[in-house]
Amino acid sequence: MTVIYPEPIYDLRELAKCNLHVHTSFSSCAHPDALPQDIVREADRLGLDTIALTDHFNDLGHDERMLAQIDELKRAVDAIPHKVRVLYGFELSGYGIGRWLEKDSTLEKLDYRLYSCNHFHLHFWDHPEDRSPRGYAEFAMAIVRSVVEADRADCIAHPLVARFIPFDDKTLVTKAMKDEEIYELSCVLRDHNTAWEINTKGVAGDPDFVRRLWNIGKEVGTTFHIGTDTHNIANIDTLADIDYIESVVY
Protein backbone atom coordinates (compact mmCIF):
# COMPACT_ATOMS: atom_id res chain seq x y z
CA MET A 1 0.00 0.00 0.00
CA THR A 2 1.25 3.44 -0.91
CA VAL A 3 0.36 6.59 0.98
CA ILE A 4 -0.51 9.18 -1.63
CA TYR A 5 -1.56 11.98 0.73
CA PRO A 6 -0.69 11.85 4.44
CA GLU A 7 -3.58 14.28 5.01
CA PRO A 8 -6.69 14.74 2.88
CA ILE A 9 -6.49 17.53 0.30
CA TYR A 10 -9.53 19.51 -0.85
CA ASP A 11 -7.84 21.56 -3.55
CA LEU A 12 -8.65 20.02 -6.94
CA ARG A 13 -5.62 21.51 -8.68
CA GLU A 14 -3.38 20.07 -6.02
CA LEU A 15 -5.05 16.68 -6.39
CA ALA A 16 -4.67 16.96 -10.15
CA LYS A 17 -0.90 16.50 -9.80
CA CYS A 18 -1.62 12.78 -9.57
CA ASN A 19 -3.55 10.74 -12.10
CA LEU A 20 -4.43 7.56 -10.26
CA HIS A 21 -6.57 5.84 -12.88
CA VAL A 22 -4.75 5.11 -16.13
CA HIS A 23 -5.41 2.13 -18.39
CA THR A 24 -2.74 0.75 -20.70
CA SER A 25 -3.05 -1.26 -23.88
CA PHE A 26 -3.40 -4.33 -21.65
CA SER A 27 -7.00 -3.29 -20.99
CA SER A 28 -9.03 -4.66 -23.87
CA CYS A 29 -11.14 -1.50 -23.92
CA ALA A 30 -8.04 0.72 -24.18
CA HIS A 31 -6.62 2.14 -27.36
CA PRO A 32 -3.69 0.06 -28.65
CA ASP A 33 -1.57 3.22 -28.59
CA ALA A 34 -1.72 3.33 -24.77
CA LEU A 35 1.75 1.87 -24.38
CA PRO A 36 3.29 2.29 -20.93
CA GLN A 37 6.40 4.07 -22.15
CA ASP A 38 4.29 6.60 -24.07
CA ILE A 39 1.97 7.10 -21.08
CA VAL A 40 4.98 7.90 -18.91
CA ARG A 41 6.40 10.31 -21.51
CA GLU A 42 3.07 12.11 -21.70
CA ALA A 43 2.82 12.25 -17.88
CA ASP A 44 6.27 13.85 -17.78
CA ARG A 45 5.31 16.32 -20.49
CA LEU A 46 2.30 17.31 -18.38
CA GLY A 47 4.44 17.55 -15.26
CA LEU A 48 2.45 15.02 -13.23
CA ASP A 49 3.94 13.89 -9.92
CA THR A 50 2.44 10.40 -9.85
CA ILE A 51 0.44 8.11 -12.08
CA ALA A 52 -1.11 4.75 -11.26
CA LEU A 53 -1.43 2.15 -14.00
CA THR A 54 -4.72 0.43 -13.27
CA ASP A 55 -5.72 -2.09 -15.89
CA HIS A 56 -8.90 -4.07 -15.36
CA PHE A 57 -8.70 -7.20 -13.22
CA ASN A 58 -11.81 -9.00 -14.47
CA ASP A 59 -10.89 -12.67 -14.40
CA LEU A 60 -11.05 -15.19 -11.62
CA GLY A 61 -8.03 -17.47 -11.29
CA HIS A 62 -5.71 -15.41 -13.47
CA ASP A 63 -3.60 -13.84 -10.74
CA GLU A 64 -0.28 -15.05 -12.10
CA ARG A 65 -0.98 -13.85 -15.60
CA MET A 66 -2.07 -10.47 -14.26
CA LEU A 67 1.03 -10.09 -12.11
CA ALA A 68 3.18 -11.03 -15.11
CA GLN A 69 1.42 -8.21 -16.97
CA ILE A 70 2.58 -5.77 -14.29
CA ASP A 71 6.14 -7.09 -14.63
CA GLU A 72 5.93 -6.37 -18.34
CA LEU A 73 4.73 -2.82 -17.68
CA LYS A 74 7.58 -2.26 -15.22
CA ARG A 75 10.16 -3.45 -17.73
CA ALA A 76 8.82 -1.08 -20.38
CA VAL A 77 8.72 1.90 -18.03
CA ASP A 78 12.11 1.20 -16.43
CA ALA A 79 13.68 1.08 -19.88
CA ILE A 80 13.13 4.81 -20.44
CA PRO A 81 14.31 7.76 -18.35
CA HIS A 82 11.38 9.44 -16.57
CA LYS A 83 10.54 11.71 -13.67
CA VAL A 84 6.97 10.78 -12.83
CA ARG A 85 6.45 8.28 -10.01
CA VAL A 86 4.69 5.24 -11.43
CA LEU A 87 2.49 3.06 -9.24
CA TYR A 88 1.50 -0.39 -10.45
CA GLY A 89 -1.93 -1.67 -9.58
CA PHE A 90 -5.24 -2.72 -11.01
CA GLU A 91 -8.81 -1.59 -11.26
CA LEU A 92 -10.05 -4.50 -9.20
CA SER A 93 -13.59 -5.85 -9.16
CA GLY A 94 -15.80 -5.77 -6.09
CA TYR A 95 -18.51 -7.61 -7.99
CA GLY A 96 -20.79 -8.40 -5.05
CA ILE A 97 -21.06 -7.96 -1.31
CA GLY A 98 -17.81 -9.39 0.04
CA ARG A 99 -16.94 -10.76 -3.40
CA TRP A 100 -13.75 -10.07 -5.33
CA LEU A 101 -11.59 -11.88 -7.84
CA GLU A 102 -7.98 -11.50 -6.79
CA LYS A 103 -6.14 -13.49 -4.14
CA ASP A 104 -4.97 -11.77 -0.96
CA SER A 105 -1.38 -12.56 -1.95
CA THR A 106 -1.91 -10.67 -5.22
CA LEU A 107 -3.36 -7.65 -3.44
CA GLU A 108 -0.27 -7.43 -1.26
CA LYS A 109 1.98 -7.11 -4.32
CA LEU A 110 0.24 -4.03 -5.67
CA ASP A 111 1.36 -0.43 -5.18
CA TYR A 112 -2.15 0.84 -5.76
CA ARG A 113 -5.51 -0.84 -5.35
CA LEU A 114 -8.27 0.92 -7.19
CA TYR A 115 -11.60 -0.83 -6.74
CA SER A 116 -14.58 -0.69 -9.02
CA CYS A 117 -17.75 -1.67 -7.18
CA ASN A 118 -20.28 -0.76 -9.88
CA HIS A 119 -19.30 -2.38 -13.18
CA PHE A 120 -22.83 -3.77 -13.42
CA HIS A 121 -22.54 -4.14 -17.20
CA LEU A 122 -20.09 -7.04 -16.81
CA HIS A 123 -21.62 -10.49 -17.05
CA PHE A 124 -20.21 -11.76 -13.75
CA TRP A 125 -21.37 -8.79 -11.64
CA ASP A 126 -23.97 -9.49 -8.94
CA HIS A 127 -27.25 -7.56 -9.04
CA PRO A 128 -29.66 -6.84 -6.21
CA GLU A 129 -32.88 -8.81 -5.91
CA ASP A 130 -34.73 -5.50 -5.88
CA ARG A 131 -33.73 -3.89 -9.17
CA SER A 132 -35.34 -0.55 -8.42
CA PRO A 133 -33.12 2.55 -8.05
CA ARG A 134 -33.35 2.19 -4.27
CA GLY A 135 -32.47 -1.50 -4.53
CA TYR A 136 -29.37 -0.67 -6.55
CA ALA A 137 -28.53 2.20 -4.19
CA GLU A 138 -28.50 -0.08 -1.14
CA PHE A 139 -26.62 -2.79 -3.01
CA ALA A 140 -23.94 -0.48 -4.42
CA MET A 141 -23.33 1.04 -1.00
CA ALA A 142 -23.13 -2.43 0.58
CA ILE A 143 -20.50 -3.58 -1.92
CA VAL A 144 -18.35 -0.52 -1.27
CA ARG A 145 -18.66 -1.00 2.47
CA SER A 146 -17.63 -4.66 2.24
CA VAL A 147 -14.53 -3.87 0.16
CA VAL A 148 -13.48 -0.99 2.39
CA GLU A 149 -14.05 -2.83 5.66
CA ALA A 150 -11.93 -5.69 4.32
CA ASP A 151 -9.11 -3.15 3.83
CA ARG A 152 -8.71 -4.08 0.17
CA ALA A 153 -8.88 -0.67 -1.48
CA ASP A 154 -6.80 2.49 -1.70
CA CYS A 155 -9.54 4.16 -3.70
CA ILE A 156 -13.07 3.49 -4.96
CA ALA A 157 -13.35 4.19 -8.70
CA HIS A 158 -16.28 6.22 -10.10
CA PRO A 159 -18.00 5.70 -6.76
CA LEU A 160 -21.66 4.68 -6.47
CA VAL A 161 -22.82 6.18 -9.76
CA ALA A 162 -25.23 4.23 -11.94
CA ARG A 163 -23.26 4.79 -15.13
CA PHE A 164 -23.19 1.04 -15.81
CA ILE A 165 -26.81 0.25 -14.92
CA PRO A 166 -29.34 0.32 -17.76
CA PHE A 167 -31.60 3.04 -16.37
CA ASP A 168 -32.53 5.82 -18.77
CA ASP A 169 -31.86 8.36 -16.03
CA LYS A 170 -28.42 7.54 -14.63
CA THR A 171 -28.98 9.77 -11.61
CA LEU A 172 -31.94 7.84 -10.16
CA VAL A 173 -29.74 5.49 -8.13
CA THR A 174 -27.63 8.16 -6.45
CA LYS A 175 -30.77 10.23 -5.83
CA ALA A 176 -32.08 7.22 -3.91
CA MET A 177 -29.10 7.46 -1.51
CA LYS A 178 -29.64 9.58 1.59
CA ASP A 179 -27.08 12.14 2.71
CA GLU A 180 -26.85 10.34 6.07
CA GLU A 181 -25.90 7.13 4.26
CA ILE A 182 -23.20 8.82 2.21
CA TYR A 183 -21.97 10.51 5.38
CA GLU A 184 -21.74 7.23 7.24
CA LEU A 185 -20.03 5.44 4.34
CA SER A 186 -17.57 8.32 3.96
CA CYS A 187 -16.66 7.83 7.64
CA VAL A 188 -15.95 4.15 6.93
CA LEU A 189 -13.66 5.13 4.06
CA ARG A 190 -11.88 7.70 6.22
CA ASP A 191 -11.36 5.15 9.00
CA HIS A 192 -9.89 2.62 6.55
CA ASN A 193 -7.67 5.08 4.66
CA THR A 194 -9.63 4.61 1.47
CA ALA A 195 -10.27 7.46 -0.96
CA TRP A 196 -13.27 8.41 -3.07
CA GLU A 197 -12.24 8.97 -6.67
CA ILE A 198 -13.08 12.09 -8.61
CA ASN A 199 -13.36 10.35 -11.98
CA THR A 200 -12.86 13.39 -14.19
CA LYS A 201 -14.63 12.09 -17.28
CA GLY A 202 -17.51 10.81 -15.17
CA VAL A 203 -18.38 14.04 -13.36
CA ALA A 204 -20.67 15.28 -16.13
CA GLY A 205 -22.77 12.10 -15.90
CA ASP A 206 -24.01 12.91 -12.38
CA PRO A 207 -22.67 16.29 -11.24
CA ASP A 208 -25.16 16.71 -8.39
CA PHE A 209 -23.94 13.51 -6.81
CA VAL A 210 -20.26 14.40 -7.24
CA ARG A 211 -21.00 17.69 -5.46
CA ARG A 212 -22.75 15.86 -2.60
CA LEU A 213 -19.96 13.31 -2.27
CA TRP A 214 -17.26 15.99 -2.29
CA ASN A 215 -18.98 18.16 0.30
CA ILE A 216 -19.89 15.31 2.60
CA GLY A 217 -16.44 13.74 2.24
CA LYS A 218 -14.84 17.07 3.03
CA GLU A 219 -17.00 17.49 6.11
CA VAL A 220 -16.09 14.01 7.31
CA GLY A 221 -12.40 14.11 6.43
CA THR A 222 -12.37 11.48 3.68
CA THR A 223 -9.50 11.56 1.19
CA PHE A 224 -10.13 12.13 -2.53
CA HIS A 225 -8.02 11.00 -5.46
CA ILE A 226 -8.26 12.16 -9.05
CA GLY A 227 -8.22 9.77 -11.98
CA THR A 228 -9.05 10.45 -15.60
CA ASP A 229 -9.89 6.78 -16.29
CA THR A 230 -8.03 7.27 -19.54
CA HIS A 231 -7.92 4.56 -22.14
CA ASN A 232 -5.66 6.47 -24.52
CA ILE A 233 -2.68 8.80 -24.49
CA ALA A 234 -4.74 11.92 -25.15
CA ASN A 235 -6.70 11.78 -21.89
CA ILE A 236 -3.94 11.67 -19.30
CA ASP A 237 -4.21 15.38 -18.55
CA THR A 238 -5.96 15.74 -15.17
CA LEU A 239 -6.42 19.47 -15.76
CA ALA A 240 -8.37 19.07 -19.00
CA ASP A 241 -11.78 19.28 -17.28
CA ILE A 242 -10.72 21.04 -14.10
CA ASP A 243 -12.62 24.31 -14.67
CA TYR A 244 -15.83 22.37 -15.12
CA ILE A 245 -15.18 20.12 -12.09
CA GLU A 246 -14.41 23.16 -9.96
CA SER A 247 -17.69 24.71 -11.05
CA VAL A 248 -19.45 21.51 -9.96
CA VAL A 249 -17.96 20.98 -6.52
CA TYR A 250 -17.02 24.41 -5.17
List of residues contacting Zn ion (CB under 5 A): 91, 116, 157, 229
* CA–CA gap between residue 249 and residue 172 (Å, rounded): 20
* Helix H or strand E encompassing 125: none
CB of 91 to Zn ion, least distance (A): 5
Provide the pairing of β-strand 112-116 with 99-100: unpaired
CB-wise, 116 or 194, nearer to Zn ion?
A: 116
CA neighbor of 124 nearest in space, from 149, 98, 100: 100
CB-wise, 91 or 102, nearer to Zn ion?
A: 91
CB-wise, 30 or 137, nearer to Zn ion?
A: 30
CB-wise, 121 or 131, nearer to Zn ion?
A: 121
Q: How many CB atoms lie within 10 A of CB 225?
A: 26
CB of 168 to Zn ion, least distance (A): 21
CB of 6 to Zn ion, least distance (A): 26
* CA–CA gap between residue 104 and residue 106 (Å, rounded): 5
CB of 163 to Zn ion, least distance (A): 9
* CA–CA gap between residue 212 and residue 205 (Å, rounded): 14
The DSSP letter of residue 102 is S
In SS3 terms, 187-224 reads as HHHHHCCCEEEEEHHHHHHCHHHHHHHHHHHHHHCCCE
* CA–CA gap between residue 117 and residue 175 (Å, rounded): 18
CB-wise, 117 or 220, nearer to Zn ion?
A: 117
CB-wise, 92 or 182, nearer to Zn ion?
A: 92
CB of 30 to Zn ion, least distance (A): 9
CB of 22 to Zn ion, least distance (A): 9
